[in-house]
Structure 1
Amino acid sequence: MISRKPFLIALTLVAIAAFSALFHHLNQSPSPPVNQGKNPIQPRNPPGKPEGTSSLPASESLAQEAKQQQLALWSKNASAGLALSLKNLIADLPLSTEETAAVKQIFARRDAELTSLLTTMLSGNATNDSQLFTKICALLRNKGLREDLAGVLSPQNLATFDSNEASRQHQSIEARAYRDMADINSVVLLSDSQKQQALAALIKHAPSKIEQEADTRAFLTLHYGQSLTDVDPASIRGLTNLANQLTSNPHATLDIDSPQFRQSSAATKADRIARDLSTLQIILDENQLARYREHLESEPAW
């Protein structure tokens, strides 16, 4: 079977380049004020200009068209993700007719808010790119949904929702821990005892790793839909670094070729290696630790 990893890495690099180029363009040449009508990024014609013509130079008109196409793609994929969450929620809970209608209204409102935020991002008129990015990813990840549902679901249905979410979180943590252990075992052969110890340690650290990558995975769905939400961590590392730079420092240089990004990526890689080895310090022997360190250091810094 052909490995998907090179393909996923290539897709990730495309996403990184697109993300970097987008914010570079928006920061350097923001668009005119957004028209919130049917075509929110389409510029208005000045007085005296015939309808259907543009006052912008050809290059800017192409940029506007590209933004409009990007908005359509992002909105479509974002709406599809919310629709899937809604479908699963309705299937999981014995909702009354009134509850079903109220839940659909909640998702419609969140969908409209997400589209508005994406429009603002692509218009270049955001006052704070970092906050905007965080809000978009929060909606994509269904953050705040529980609070919205608390006002419309019965106590029994809300309790079932909480139980289902806890079960999904537990499954995600276990899946991440097993994936990390498989990565370790592909480099150094673990004994059964070491596997048990490693799994326990990896489960303990999995929640923080999942959270670190969560916004990145949410952002990937805007480009590729729901089909690439389970990409292995190494394949989305560059985009995670880029997203972390944006959220931690709104004035960071979002350019994957910049010295700042390379330096930040190298520092992030060094910290990651130190944490990973610390987790395994009392589990692996010296030769195994040395071999696994060599493996981690051979991975791309991005």
Structure 2
Amino acid sequence: MTGPSWHERLLGGFKKTSDRLIGNLAGIGLGRLGTEQLDEIEEALIASDLGPATAARIRGRLEEAQVERNLEELGIRLIVAEEIAKVLDPVSKKLEIAAFPRPQVILVIGVNGSGKTTTIAKLANLLLEQDYGVMLAAGDTFRAAAIGQLRTWAERIGVPIVTGPEGGDAAGVVFEAVKQATEKGIDVLIVDTAGRLQNKRELMDELAKIRRVLGRINPASPHDVVLVLDATTGQNALNQIEVFKEVAGVTGLVMTKLDGTARGGVLVAAAQKYGLPIHAIGVGEKVDDLRPFDANEVARIIAGVEEFTSPRSA
């Protein structure tokens, strides 16, 4: 018996976010929208974590549309979906594996508790499905638990891993991993890094050292610096992007734990504010619960269009 499709998992994953948005919009008078109703809709969109810029953009579209026709609930939802899709579409970018010479080095960063280590395993699994050879490097030597957890995942999905002792030199682990990956002809090396953001200077120094070591091996490395964000933190995720951009030179994002929150709208706010590529989203705990996303599909789900236009499943 097959499990739910990715679309069904997305519907479930964004349900709390969609319910929150629709709940915030409920009770606002439809038909001819005056300034008061438009103000209420804009506030409802901001309250759903879509961010003030996107909320203002949607308000503007609604204002234009209602000049032409009276808007019913579906009409509002469709406009919300269209505008969300316009924000998400430019940043919906699959992680491309194109480095030559190999390996392509992906530094994965994020605060402790964001689901970083699990996301690395899911990302590795996604690349394995595309027939790439993958190796992991346990560069978060600060926490023994992180090393053990990553080793367990490596064994589970069947990929090699390079580790070092707790408290050891992270740059040394990364150097050894690149050496081994090169010798074995590995396509992608995914590197875990420490997430102790409370000591920004120490983290910055460690990441700078890793970058220097990688740069000596290959000036183009690291090829990607991917920030893992926990959607349940809502607007705090935006603060993390700000800090990690400064500390680590983030090149792309992965958003996790969208199934556990009503704050999935922050995905849209992040896209609007920073324009960084969003490589994948996670909506579950299983190893295959991380996938590239379709901007239109996600936008329609967040806006509740799917639920409104199709019969509810039992």
Same fold judged by TM-score > 0.5?
A: no
Greater strand share, structure number: 2
TM-score of the superposed pair, with normalisation by structure 2: 0.29
Greater helix share, structure number: 1
TM-score of the superposed pair, with normalisation by structure 1: 0.30
